[in-house]
Amino acid sequence: MSEQEKTIPMPEMIDFDAPILDMNDVPVVSEEGATMRIGEACVNSLMAAIPDDKSDGVQKLKRYNLARKIKGSSDDEDYPTVHLSSKQKTLILGQAEQIWSVLIYSRIHEALEGSVDDEED
């Protein structure tokens, strides 16, 4: 099989406990010394109050329920590994692009979609 014929399979399950890595692939650490996780960034994206947000109650409930799914059990500090639909991924990415820096958004995109390649050059 040639290099061009090889494809990278999209991940079925997303590990939300994975650390967010900086440009040198070193985990990002908060001022409190905690490693920032993909799940934490996604939950914060979904729960953020964004100025001029026109979401209705139904949309806000979808964001809340998805955030709870990503957060997992309240007894466990680790984020779970879960499957998300395309619509759920789109919802997270739409929120994340409004609140996060390029690095954090790109790492979320990479975790959800398996790549950060932009085919439009």
**Angle CA(113)–CA(64)–CA(118) in degrees, nearest 5?**
20
Q: Are 104 and 20 in contact (CB under 8 A)?
A: yes
- Tens digit of pLDDT for each residue in 62-113? 999 999 999 987 677 789 999 999 999 999 999 999 999 999 999 999 999 9
Evaluate if residue 1 carries a pLDDT over 70: no
What is the residue extent of each domain of the chain?
14-113
The reported pLDDT for the residue numbered 97 is: 95
For the cut 80, the answer to whether the pLDDT of residue 120 exceeds it is: no
Position 114 scores a pLDDT of 83
What average pLDDT does range 47-56 have in this prediction? 90
Q: Specify whether the CB–CB gap between 37 and 16 falls below 8 A.
A: yes
